[in-house]
Amino acid sequence: MNKSTWLVFFLVCFCTIQSAMGQNRLAELVDFSCRDCAPADALVQLSRQTGVNIAFGDRLFARCAPVNIDIRQTPLRQVLEQISSCANVSFNFDGTQVVFFRKNQKYTLSGYVLDSETGERLIGASVRAASEKNIGTVSNEYGFFSLRLDEGVYEISVSYIGYRQERQTIEIRRDRLTRFQLHPDNSLPEVVISEKEHADTRQQKGGSPKYLAGSDLQTLPMPGGEADLLRQTALQPGIQTGVDGLGGLHVRGGNADHNLFLLDDVPVYSPSHALGLFSIYNPSTVSHVRLWKGDFPARYGGRVASVLDVRTRDGNFRDYHTSVSAGLFASSASIEGPLERDKSSFLLGVRTTYLGPWVDFFSKKGNLLTFSGDKVNYRFYDANLKLNYALSDRDRVYFSYYAGGDRFRNSYIQLYNGTDAVVTDKYNITSEWGNAIAALRWNHLLNKNLFTNTTLRYSRFIYNSQLTFNSEALYPSGKYQILYDYAQLYQTLIRDISGKTDFSFYISDRLTLRWGFALTQHNFQPGALSVNFQLPGQSPTAIDSLANILQNNERITTNETEAYFDSEFEPLKNVHVEAGLNGSVFQGENVNYRSLQPRLRIRWGRNTGWNIWGGYHQMSQYLHQIGSFNVSLPFELWVPSTQKVPPEQVRQFSAGISWQKRGWSCQAEAYDKNLDRVFTFLSSNDALFTGGAEDASGWEDRIASGTGRSKGIELVLEKNTGAFTGSIAYTFSKTTRTFPELNSGREFLFRFDRPHDVKIILQQRLNNWLDASAIWTYATGNPITLTGVKYHHASVEGEVEREVFVYTEVNGYRLPDYHRLDLALNAHFNKKKSRHSIQLGVYNAYNRSNPFYLSIDTSSEIRGKAIQYTLLPLLPVFRYEIKL
C-alpha cells in the first residue's frame, strides 16, 4: 500500500470509531427528571447533566406545552425523543453534539383538471411541479390527480393538448384539494395522434398506452368524410384490419374478438357498422381514447390482444352548444349544456347514415344482385346520452347510455309468364343488429389521495334476421295456388349485467396503487330459430327438425368474478415499474375456470431523451366470437367458455427503445406473442350453419382448438410539433396458427399475416384556417388458400359425382399487395358565435383496386385467371361541420 492508501484507511477507521463512540453516547443510560419544563429548558438541563452539547433553534419548540419527565436508566436517545416529541423535529449526533432540525413534511396536492369554458374534466392532462423534474402525474379517467410534495412553494404546470399551458404558484403547507382550469387554445393546429406535452409524464412513456385525443379524429381523410376512430386506430403499427380496411382489428396477430372495446368503461361486443367501414363511436361525443397493444395493465381483463378505452365527453357545464355535421355517408348532431350551471351537464349525440343508395349503386355496379327488380337497402344509427351531476367536490355521478344498430334489407319480386300460369316469387330478408350500453357511475374521493369509482354496467348485443320467400301461381282459370311458402326468424344475443368498484391510491409521486373487483353475469342466446315452412313432400322433415331445434335452443348464463391489483412505482431513479396481477373466476355450466394473470413492465428513462422498456403480460379470455370469414360478420356468435371450450390464453413479451426531443420522437418495439389456445370453426359452413342462417346447436363440437404465434418489430418516427407534423410507421411481423385438424396439423400463416406494413401520415398547416393531410398505407397482401388442381370423385355405381379441389397448403398464396393514398384539405372558419369546418378530399386517390375477395375462374382457358372484387374504390371525402 502506498501512503495515500494508508491515509484513507486510517481516516475511515477513525470515522468509524468516532461514529461508534457517538452512537455509544446516545446509548448511554441516564436518569432524568423535569417537572413542567419547557422542552427547550429540559434539553438545556439534559445537556448540563450529561455533558453532551445539544443545539436547537429557538422556534423549534415554540408551540410545545411544558413536559413532565421522570425516567430512570433510559438510553439518552429515548430521552431526547421523549422531550422533543411535541414538535415536528428530528436530530442527528455528529460525534460531538446533538443537533435538532425541523422534519420535512409531505403534503398532498390533489384535485381536478377542467376545461375553463365548458367545465368538463380533462383526462390525461399533465400536472407537474415545474421546479421538480421528476415529480408529475396525469389526470385519471375522471380528471382527478394527486401529487405528494414536500412542504414548500411550487410552480405547478398543467398542460393538455389543445389547451394553453397553465402555471400556478402554490404554497404547500397542508393537504390541498384544488381545480386547475385550462383555456382552449384555438390557434393550435389539431394534430393527429400526437403525444405532445401530455406525453411528458412517466405514465405515457415506453410505447403504451397510446393516447388518441378526441379532437384529433376529425382531420384525416376517411371514406365519405366520416371521421372514424377504429380506422384511425388501425393506422397504428402492429394493427391490421381485415380485407380492405374492413372487418375488425387484428392486433399483433390476434383475432378480432381478442380486443376489449370499452365505451365509458362498458364492454362493447360489436364495435362497428357496415362490416367495419364505420365504428360505433360517434366522433362528436368522444373525449379521450387510450390504446394498449397487448401490454395492458392488470385492471383490464377478459381479452387477450388489446384494449381500446374510449371515454365520452361530459357535456358543457356552463353554456348550451350544438354541433351538426354532414358527410357523404352520414350525418350527426349533438347538443350539450348545463342542467345546473357548474354542477350538472348533459350531452346528447345522434348519427344516422344514408348509405343505402350507395350500397344499392355498388351492388348493381358489381353485378352482385341477381334480378333487375332486386333492391338493397342499408342504414345504421347511433345515439349517445351522457348525464352527470356533481354531488359535492368529492362526489359525482354519471349516467352514460348508447344505443346503435344496423339494418340491412334485400328484397325482390320476380314474375314468370308461363303458358299455363303466372308465377310470382317474392323474397325478402331483413337483418338487424346492434348494441345497447348503459353505465351508472359514482366517483368518490375518499380522502386526499384515495379515489374510488363504482359502476353498474349493462351491455347487450343482439342480431336478428327475418327471411321470407314465397312463390305463387295464378292460372288463367283464376285458380290461385301457393307453390312455396317459407319464413324464418333467427336471433342471437349476448347480455351482460355487472358491478365494478375501483380504487386508486396515490401514495406518493413514486408510488400509485390501484385495486378493484368486478362481478359480471353474462347471458347468452347463441341462436334461436323459428320457422314456418310449406313444401309438398319435404315439409315434415323440415318442420320436425327445426321444431326440435327451437326446443333445443340454448340459453346460457355464466358468472365472471374479477379482482386486480396494479402498482406503479419508482424503485430507483429513472426506473419505473408497472406491476400487477389480475385474477378471475369464471363459472358456467359444469365449469369453474380460474386464472391468475401477471403483468409486468419496467422502463428506464427520463422525460426526454432515451427510454428503454421491457415487459411480460399474460392474459385469459373467457368469451369467444368464433369466426371463419375474412371479415367479421355480425352474426358470428359470442359464446362462453365451456367444458369443451376452455379459455383462450396469451403470453406476450415485448421490449422497446425510444428517443424523444424537440418535437421529434422515434421508437422501436419488438414483441413475441404466444397464443397458447385459440379457436376457429372447422369450416366456414360450420360458422355459417352455426351462426348465420341456421341454428347454433352443437357449436362446441364444430370448433377446433389450436395455438398461434406472432412476432414482429414496430418502428415509428414522429414529428409532433410545428406546422408540419406526421409519422411513419413500419411493422415487420409474422403470424401463424397451428390446428391439429387443419392443414394436416402443420403450421400455416394466419389469414391476416402481413409481413410488411407501412403507414405514413402527413399533415401540413398552411395558414391559420387551412391545413392539409395525407395518408399512404401499404401492406403485403393477405394470405389466401388457392388450388391449381381438381379431380372428380365418383362412386363405382356412378350415382354420386363431385368435383374435388386439391388444396395442398392453407393460406399458401397471397393476394396482391394493398396500398392506398388518401388526401384531404381541412378549412376552419371562426365566426362570432359559430365555428365552421369543411373537409374536402379523396379516399384511395389513385383508385387502387385493392382485393376484397378473389375467386379462381375454374371455367376459363387461362390458368390462374381470377375475379377480384374491390369494395372501396376511389371515393370522395366531404364533410361540413358547424358548432354553435
Query: Which residue of 373, 722, 745, 788 would you call a contact of other proteins, by CB under 8 A?
Result: 788
Quick one: 465 or 697, whose CB is closer to other proteins? 697
Residue 209, preceding peptide bond in cis (omega within 30° of 0): yes
- What are the φ and ψ backbone dihedral angles of 219, each rounded to 5 degrees? -100, -20
Query: Are the CB atoms for 492 and 463 separated by under 8 Å?
Result: yes
Quick one: 209 or 527, whose CB is closer to other proteins? 527
| Cα gap 661→351, rounded to integer Å | 40
| Cα gap 738→158, rounded to integer Å | 50
Q: Minimal distance in Å, beta carbon 683 to other proteins?
A: 4
Q: Which residues of 259-281 are buried (b: 16+ CB within 10 A; e: fewer)?
A: bbbbbbbbbbbbbbbbbbbbbbb
Q: Looking at residues 836 to 865 of the shown chain, list those that interact with other proteins (rule: CB under 8 A).
A: 847, 849, 851, 853-865
Q: Looking at residues 194 to 233 of the shown chain, list those that interact with other proteins (rule: CB under 8 A).
A: none
What count of other Cβ atoms lies within 10 Å of the Cβ of residue 769? 13
Q: Minimal distance in Å, beta carbon 495 to other proteins?
A: 22
| Cα gap 591→522, rounded to integer Å | 14
Q: Minimal distance in Å, beta carbon 799 to other proteins?
A: 7
Q: Looking at residues 96 to 155 of the shown chain, list those that interact with other proteins (rule: CB under 8 A).
A: none
End-to-end Cα separation, the chain, in angstroms: 84
* Residues 326-365 as x/- pattern, contact with other proteins by CB under 8 A: x-x-------------------------x--xx--xx--x
Indicate the burial class of 351 (C-beta count within 10 angstroms; 0-12, 13-18, 19 or more).
buried
Q: Minimal distance in Å, beta carbon 575 to other proteins?
A: 46
* Residues 538-577 as x/- pattern, contact with other proteins by CB under 8 A: -xxx--xx--xx-xxx------------------------
> Is 867 an interacting residue with respect to other proteins (CB under 8 A)?
yes
Query: Are the CB atoms for 658 and 667 separated by under 8 Å?
Result: yes
Query: Are the CB atoms for 253 and 671 separated by under 8 Å?
Result: no
> Is 628 an interacting residue with respect to other proteins (CB under 8 A)?
yes
Q: Minimal distance in Å, beta carbon 538 to other proteins?
A: 8
Quick one: 340 or 589, whose CB is closer to other proteins? 589
Q: Minimal distance in Å, beta carbon 490 to other proteins?
A: 13
Q: Minimal distance in Å, beta carbon 840 to other proteins?
A: 12
Q: Which residues of 202-219 are buried (b: 16+ CB within 10 A; e: fewer)?
A: bbbbbbbbbbbbbbbbbb
> Is 685 an interacting residue with respect to other proteins (CB under 8 A)?
yes
Closest to 583 measured CA to CA, from 298, 294, 266, 307: 298
**Residues paired with 222 in a beta bridge:** none
Dig out the grid coordinates for 4 from the structure.
495515500
Quick one: 24 or 548, whose CB is closer to other proteins? 548
Binding residues for other proteins, rule CB under 8 A, total 99
* Residues 291-330 as x/- pattern, contact with other proteins by CB under 8 A: -----------------------------------x-x--
Sign of torsion over alpha carbons 298, 302, 306, 312: negative
Q: Minimal distance in Å, beta carbon 222 to other proteins?
A: 16
Q: Looking at residues 450 to 469 of the shown chain, list those that interact with other proteins (rule: CB under 8 A).
A: none
Quick one: 225 or 580, whose CB is closer to other proteins? 225
> Is 270 an interacting residue with respect to other proteins (CB under 8 A)?
no
Angle CA(252)–CA(649)–CA(715) in degrees, nearest 5? 20
Q: Minimal distance in Å, beta carbon 768 to other proteins?
A: 30
Q: Minimal distance in Å, beta carbon 363 to other proteins?
A: 9
Helices 76-84 and 39-50 cross at an angle (nearest 10°) of 160
* Residues 573-612 as x/- pattern, contact with other proteins by CB under 8 A: ----------------------------------------
SS3 track for 214-259:
HHHHHCCCCHHHCCCHHHHHCCCCCEEECHHHCCCEEECCCCHHHE
Quick one: 69 or 854, whose CB is closer to other proteins? 854
Query: Which residue of 400, 697, 731, 850 would you call a contact of other proteins, by CB under 8 A?
Result: 697
What count of other Cβ atoms lies within 10 Å of the Cβ of residue 366? 12
Binding segment for other proteins among 79-87, 256-264, 576-584, 679-687 (CB under 8 A)? Answer: 679-687
Query: Which residue of 389, 629, 778, 880 would you call a contact of other proteins, by CB under 8 A?
Result: 629
Q: Looking at residues 790 to 829 of the shown chain, list those that interact with other proteins (rule: CB under 8 A).
A: 790-796, 798-800, 802, 804-808, 810-811, 813, 816
> Is 57 an interacting residue with respect to other proteins (CB under 8 A)?
no
Q: Which residues of 629-639 are buried (b: 16+ CB within 10 A; e: fewer)?
A: bbbbbbbbbbb
Q: Which residues have a Cβ under 8 Å from the Cβ of 749 and sit 6 or more positions away?
A: 734, 735, 736, 737, 783, 810, 811
Quick one: 569 or 629, whose CB is closer to other proteins? 629
> Is 786 an interacting residue with respect to other proteins (CB under 8 A)?
yes
Mapped onto helix, strand or coil, the DSSP state of residue 650 is strand
Query: Which residue of 631, 678, 716, 729 would you call a contact of other proteins, by CB under 8 A?
Result: 631
Quick one: 129 or 875, whose CB is closer to other proteins? 875
Q: Minimal distance in Å, beta carbon 240 to other proteins?
A: 16
Binding segment for other proteins among 156-164, 392-400, 415-423, 685-693 (CB under 8 A)? Answer: 685-693
> Is 479 an interacting residue with respect to other proteins (CB under 8 A)?
no
Radius of gyration of the chain, Cα coordinates, nearest whole angstrom = 34
Q: Minimal distance in Å, beta carbon 383 to other proteins?
A: 20
> Is 421 an interacting residue with respect to other proteins (CB under 8 A)?
no
| Cα gap 858→790, rounded to integer Å | 10
Q: Looking at residues 516 to 545 of the shown chain, list those that interact with other proteins (rule: CB under 8 A).
A: 534, 536-537, 539-541, 544-545
Q: Looking at residues 731 to 770 of the shown chain, list those that interact with other proteins (rule: CB under 8 A).
A: 742-744, 751
| Cα gap 665→658, rounded to integer Å | 7
Q: Minimal distance in Å, beta carbon 826 to other proteins?
A: 19
